[in-house]
Amino acid sequence: MEGASPNLCGMCGEDLHSVRPGLSQHDLVKICAACAREQLPNHGEGYLRRAVEDFAREVESHSTLGHYQDMNVLGAGPGNDEPLRAGMVFAIEPILYSKEQNFAAVVEDVILVTADGYEVLSKGMPYTTDEIEKLMSQKSIIEAADERR
């Protein structure tokens, strides 16, 4: 799906593109951790590389990358090793945290499993550094309301 940006610096992009009926949440965890490790050479030796290394270890210690969703937002779903089925909705919400910088990046994708793959229900949200910085530089709803008074 072109235009549905792989999330969190692309580290979990492959798991997003891998979503389809038959895979399990646990399969997606393994794919995401492998993708993060593959990107390590792109991050030099600084704090970002150490954060990505920590991310891969942290992801591997979990059984899912997020949670199922229903009308209550945090939904109940099948077990983490049970196959995904068309119609399931879940969030992929990895967290990249730099202890050295005391900074975290969280990008959540809401995914609908379709008969032949997936659909990103959260598309249109900011993903890139430029998109996020542009959004963060805008006035909030509260600031805008205060100005109208």
Averages of pLDDT over each 10 residues, the chain, 149 residues: 36 66 87 84 81 84 74 65 88 81 81 91 80 82 74
- CA–CA separation, 38 vs 122, rounded Å? 26
CA 57 to chain centre: 16
User: pLDDT for 10-25, tens place per residue?
Assistant: 555 555 678 889 988 8
13-123 topology per CATH: Creatine Amidinohydrolase (3.90.230)
Residue boundaries of the structural domains of the chain:
13-123
